[in-house]
Structure 1
Amino acid sequence: MTARPTPAVLPPPLRAWLGLIAALAALVVVVLGALYAGHGEPGRVDRWITPPTADSVRPPWRQVALAMDYLGEPAGSAMLVGAIVTGCLLLRRPRAAVLVVVGVGMTVGTATLLKHLVGRTIHGDGNLSYPSGHTAFATALVLTVALLATSRLGLSRTAGTLLVLAAALVAGAAMGWAEVALGAHYATDVLGGWCTALAVIPATAWLVDRMADWLVDRRAGAGRRKNR
């Protein structure tokens, strides 16, 4: 029996565009990291966007911001990842399930590593802030869902790219607003987290497809040798 390949998690029509976007996003992450390395104060853009006092959001928006923030915490993030992985498996999209786990994990891991490398802090109490891990997580998770939707719907390159970017923008803006409103991050931290996800997820999706295709070819070769 010949192994049947599952649909690619990174739709072929989107590979070139998302590859370019990933490269540009990685450049933004590096530039911002170099610009704010070792800083403990907001930059000019941050002063313009960030409220004058930290944690200044008031009810009912404070509850909304806290709910968003919870979804980026270990308990909330595990719940979201588990639900989406289950959905991918029910839809018989194992590659997408792998991407959710590996891609989101790689994104959060990259953001954590960058925090220690850049060393930017907020509130002067040693809290590493660049890039925003919450924003990176939310953007990465929604990106995986958008890629799955693009594949299932068979969208064209333009429509698929617009869907993926719009989903990433909404997710990043929502979580980023919560983090800035609660005084947990500067606006440039949010941008760095958003770009981290845009850089990591397409690259991880490509690797997942390559590995899955290699496994399919290997199984097919083993099956042919067995039938000789």
Structure 2
Amino acid sequence: MVVRATTQLFRERRRRAADRTFGVRLLGAAAVAALSAVPFALLLVLVEGKWRPLRTVDASAAGRLHHLALDHPAWTSTLRFLSDWVWDPLTLRCVLAVLTAWLLWRRAWRLAAWAGVTAVAGGLTGLLVKTVVERARPSLEDPVARAPGFSFPSGHAMTATTSFAVLLLVLLPLVPRRGRALCWAVAGLSVLGVGFTRVALGVHWFSDVVGGWLLGLAVVASTAWAFEAWRADSGRRRSEMTEGLEPELTETAPER
């Protein structure tokens, strides 16, 4: 009995120590997210340096998709609906807010903190980079859509990347194994679809969308690393990407 009580006390102290460092790890990971995004940094250098091959790709994609949008009004209306309502950043942030509230109700405190910090860090990081780069949006004749603000990186693409990543990594433990591949496919196609709509509507360059994807992945990777570090500190096993960040979520339940 004495040995068991001592072991439980040791485990409890270890968990408390892990909890105290978890917030620091999350904030630190969010602060270095942009710096750890090496692929994004390389793309940013090419954008700022106005690398000719990249500018050619951007101009070619914008021109071809713009002509397609002008020739098919019904197709363009569908893209606007998807971009402005279904995949709009505000819509996705509301979904994440509901998810975070649900996690708090489930008493999954650390997972809720991770989801909230990842969403906020992604939004603030994207806004900061946009303000620093100040890249102008495409200027096309007879535009089919308009958007305010600067162009690089795409806020829609970045928000979609972080939002669908959070949804996947949180909810996968609740999905039967046979259905997880479908969830990954839906999330991946949604993220790609967001990028396509922004270029097809003429409000972003192709490199803006790629930049949003890369920066969003950097933010998620950084905060997910912090979460995994907390799991290691608290003595939990390392989780796999195919099972979500906290496989024990199915065991977490609100107190009655």
Settle same-fold status: TM greater than 0.5.
yes
When the two chains are superposed, the root-mean-square deviation of aligned CA atoms in Å is 4.1
Q: What stretches of structure 2 of length at least 5 have no aligned partner?
A: 1-8, 16-32, 140-146, 236-256
Q: 2:58 aligns with which of 35, 38, 46?
A: 46
3-state SS in 1 of match to 2:153? coil
Judge conservation of contact 1:140–1:198 (CA < 8 Å) in 2: yes
Q: Deviations over 1:66-91 (max 9, x none)?
A: 33333565642442222222343355
- Which segment drifts farther, 116-125 or 192-201? 116-125
Residue of structure 2 in register with 1:30 after alignment: 41
Normalising by structure 2, we get a TM-score of: 0.60
Residue of structure 1 in register with 2:134 after alignment: 119
Residue of structure 1 in register with 2:110 after alignment: 95
Judge conservation of contact 1:146–1:163 (CA < 8 Å) in 2: no
Corresponding pairs, count: 196
Distance in 2 of aligned mates of 1:208 and 1:113: 24
Q: What stretches of structure 1 of length at least 5 have no aligned partner?
A: 6-21, 218-228
The 5 A counterparts of 1:163-202 are 166=185, 169-202=188-221
Distance in 1 of aligned mates of 2:116 and 2:46: 31
Bigger CA radius of gyration? 2
1:146 aligns with 2:158: no
Q: 1:133 aligns with which of 132, 138, 155?
A: 155
Residues 117 and 194 of structure 1: CA distance in aligned 2, closer, same or farther (over 3 Å)? same
Judge conservation of contact 1:121–1:129 (CA < 8 Å) in 2: yes
TM-superposed CA distance for 1:129, in Å, is 0.7
Residue of structure 2 in register with 1:205 after alignment: 224
Distance in 2 of aligned mates of 1:205 and 1:3: 23
Normalising by structure 1, we get a TM-score of: 0.66
If asked which structure has higher relative contact order (CA below 8 Å, sep 6+), I would say 1
Distance in 1 of aligned mates of 2:86 and 2:49: 28
Judge conservation of contact 1:115–1:128 (CA < 8 Å) in 2: yes
The 5 A counterparts of 1:205-224 are 205-208=224-227, 210=229
Distance in 1 of aligned mates of 2:79 and 2:42: 32
